[in-house]
Amino acid sequence: MSRTIHDQTLALAGVFQAAALVQQIAHQGQCSPSTYETCVRSLFATNPESTLEVFGELKDLREGLNALANGLTEQNKKLDIEVLRYGLNLIQLESKLNKRSDMLDILSSRIDQARHTAGHFGYGHSNLTSNLASVYTDTISTFKLRIQVTGDPNQLRVEENAAKVRTLLLAGIRSAVLWRQTGGRRWNLIFNRKKIIETAHALAEQANQSVYD
């Protein structure tokens, strides 16, 4: 297994994990608290020693690895297609963000300021979610390209759900940054698609095994 493909797959799993949770909240109004915290925690991993360290342990990326494999596989499930759309949009947004050094500086500063809230309340607390959601609104939301989240309007109207969606989109972009840093490019999704799917399946099996060990 190529280390490059390995690391790119982990980073993409982070993108697709955030996308999958956005889809779950938009339709059901809830998602796994521990998986949500994994996404939020990744925002504060600014000097990781490895790609996996951004997320924690492999088992913490199980949902993202499965979503990635399903999203890139030929399928017609509406929900899988939604997750794929969110994931690709996050990658596209990150490429625009990468050209805006001014906005990158603002994002870095605002996320660094949020560390105190994370340290005091924890990664799953509503105070931190509101804080990070406002960071997304003040920065990424100003781009012309916007991610249109679809789902149950009643769930999306709930303020806490909307804040979680924005926080997850921010986390998804952070993973897209990581993907680019590991050498990922959009053409990789075409030419290396089969390898990425195989790697995602293999890593998902390892992740599932680690849960039951």
Q: Quickly state the pLDDT bin for 81 (edges 50, 70, 90).
A: confident
Give CA angle at 37 (138, 193), nearest 5°.
85
**pTM across the whole model:** 0.95
How do residues 4-49 score in pLDDT, each as one tens digit? 999 999 999 999 999 999 999 999 999 999 999 999 999 999 889 9
Q: What is the DSSP letter of 123?
A: T
Name the H helices within the chain.
3-28, 33-42, 62-72, 78-97, 101-113, 115-121, 126-138, 153-156, 159-181, 188-191, 193-212
Out of 3.30.1360.120, 1.10.3890.10, 3.40.47.10, 2.40.50.140, which CATH number does the structure's domain 3-212 have? 1.10.3890.10
Q: Quickly state the pLDDT bin for 213 (edges 50, 70, 90).
A: low
Residue 75 has pLDDT above 80, yes or no: no
How do residues 43-71 score in pLDDT, each as one tens digit? 999 889 999 999 999 999 999 999 999 88
How do residues 167-201 score in pLDDT, each as one tens digit? 999 999 999 999 999 999 989 888 999 999 999 99
The pair of three-digit structure tokens given for residue 98, joined into one six-digit string: 């990468």
Of 182, 168, 173, which is closest to residue 94 (Cα–Cα)?
173
Q: Give the domain ranges of the chain.
A: 3-212
Residue 74 has pLDDT above 70, yes or no: no
Of 205, 40, 68, which is closest to residue 128 (Cα–Cα)?
40
What value does the mean pLDDT of the chain take?
Answer: 93
Asked if 172 contacts 15 with a C-beta cutoff of 8 angstroms, the reply is: yes
C-alpha span between 166 and 71 (Å, rounded):
21
pLDDT at res. 90: 97
